[in-house]
Amino acid sequence: MLPINYLKLGFLSIIILIFTYSSKGQSDNEAECKVLLSTISEEYNGACKEGLAHGKGLAKGVDTYEGKFKNGLPHGKGKYVWANGDIYNGVWKFGKKSGKAIMYTASTQKEIKGIWKNDEFYKEIVDPPYSIVIREGVTGVNFYEKSDKEPHRIEVSFQRDGSKSSIVNNLDLMSSTGMSTISNGFTGYENMQFPFEGTIEFTAISRMGTTTINYKVRFEITTPTNWEIIIRY
Domains and CATH numbers, the chain: 33-124 (2.20.110), 130-232 (2.60.40)
Distance of CA 41 to the CA centre of its chain: 29
Instruction: Band the pLDDT of 149: cuts 50, 70, 90.
Output: confident
pLDDT in tens, 187-227: 999 999 999 999 999 999 998 889 999 999 999 999 999 99
C-alpha distances out from residue 165 to 217, 218, 232, Å: 17, 20, 9
pLDDT at 8 over 90: no
Please give the average per-residue pLDDT across 67-71, as a whole number: 98
pTM of the predicted structure, to 2 decimals? 0.59
Give the Cα separation of 109 and 128 in Å (integer): 23
Residue spans of alpha helices (H) in the chain: 4-32
**Residue 146 φ/ψ, nearest 5 degrees:** -115, -160
pLDDT in tens, 86-135: 999 999 999 999 999 999 999 999 999 999 999 999 999 998 999 999 99
